[in-house]
Amino acid sequence: MTSNRKFEITDARGGAAFTVRVTTRSDIAEIMGVQDDGALKIRLTAAGAGDEAANRELVNLLAARLEVPPASIEIVAGSNGREKILSVEGISTADVEAKLGNRRDES
């Protein structure tokens, strides 16, 4: 079942919050785009989605793309699973949308 929800970025304490869905054991770490359900699809090279290494890789990848320090990104829900909610301090929802939300995931 697919939903017609758009990439949902909400205001969060001085920043933005959004949902990501990670796939692990990829050859390269990359941001794939926004899925039909509104989650941002990200591929990681780490072995398991809930591993500390995967969470660190996710934060570092997003920090580089959003041009914020890794310390500005917090996994507020789902740190042990594939679907996570992240909060990014010091960035507007418009900036997140511009840097992450323009691509649709076709897979």
24-60 tens-digit pLDDT: 999 999 999 888 888 889 999 998 888 899 999 999 9
CATH number at residue 37: 3.30.1200.10
Q: How confident is the model at residue 20 (pLDDT cuts 50, 70, 90)?
A: very high
State how far the Cα of 47 lies from the Cα of 54, in Å rounded to an integer: 7
The domain of 17 spans 10-100
46: in domain: yes
- Burial bucket for residue 84 (CB in 10 Å: 0-12, 13-18, 19+): buried
Per-residue pLDDT of 50-66, as tens digits, reads 889 999 999 999 999 99
95: in domain: yes
State how far the Cα of 47 lies from the Cα of 95, in Å rounded to an integer: 30
Domain count, the chain: 1
